[in-house]
Amino acid sequence: MIELKNITRIYSTGGAEVRALDGIDMTIENGEFVAVMGSSGSGKSTTMNILGCLDAPSSGSYLFEGLEVTSLSRSQKARLRRRYLGFVFQGFNLLSRTTALENVELPLVYRGLGKKERRNMAYAALDKVGLADRAMHTTTEMSGGQQQRVAIARAIVCNPFLLLADEPTGNLDSARSNEIMQLLTSLQAEHGITVVMVTHEPEMALWASRTIEFRDGKIIKEGH
């Protein structure tokens, strides 16, 4: 599904160059669950931003399902994000005082779908994460684990090929973290969604089928 070839990302700050990524190569197969690890500044978040078409490499090649992403225009990248990618964040990024159903419907509004179709798809996504019975509850009436489930439902409502999860358990206790990891692995195993997760927690990385570790803009270790 994904192939990164000799990817570099250089930022200019205060007249100095910072090499966030230094010629990385990475391949991710369809249906894999990959954990990306590394300390702050290692390059893992920059890699996730490039995979999510939120940032562009300074050089190198990014192939998504055989398509050269680096040659796409900004609007083409936006369409790729909407159609093929789902995003889950540490901070949930949900609309407060808004129901779970309305939060999950939001990506479908941007796709121009009608109200009935949006509602049916949003209910189906909430059912996948075990929250169909909480659809009409606001996010302020939910626990942190439930809010993250709503965020995951929102990420999968458009049936993405790739789910990018950035520290999805970072704001949760260990019990809720394990619930979220069980959910992500079931989405990968039962629905064939490819999952790439950034985490700094080794115990969370153990849920993945493969771990990629970054240091100083390079991949230093890969393992199953």
Going 58 to 36 to 148 to 40, the CA torsion angle's sign is negative
Per-residue pLDDT, 111: 82
Q: Is 192 exposed, middle or buried (0-12, 13-18, 19+ CB in 10 A)?
A: exposed
pTM exceeds cut of 0.75: yes
Residue whose tokens read 């927690």: 201
Per cent of the chain over pLDDT 70 is 100
CA distances for 143 relative to 104, 149, 191, 215, angstroms? 17, 10, 26, 34
| 13: confidence class by pLDDT, cuts 50, 70, 90 | confident
pLDDT tens string 27-85: 999 999 999 999 988 999 999 999 999 999 999 999 999 999 999 999 999 999 988 99
At residue 96, does pLDDT exceed 90? no
pLDDT tens string 23-38: 999 999 999 999 999 9
Main-chain dihedrals φ then ψ at residue 141, nearest 5 degrees: -95, 10
pLDDT tens string 156-182: 999 999 999 999 998 889 999 999 999
If we measure between CA atoms, which residue out of 1, 65, 61 comes closest to residue 33?
Answer: 1
At residue 224, does pLDDT exceed 80? no
pLDDT tens string 129-158: 999 999 999 988 999 999 999 999 999 999
| 194: confidence class by pLDDT, cuts 50, 70, 90 | very high
Domain spans, the chain: 2-223
Which of the 8 DSSP states describes residue 141? G
Per cent of the chain over pLDDT 90 is 78
pLDDT tens string 98-117: 999 999 999 998 888 899 99
The CATH homologous superfamily for domain 2-223 is P-loop containing nucleotide triphosphate hydrolases (3.40.50.300)
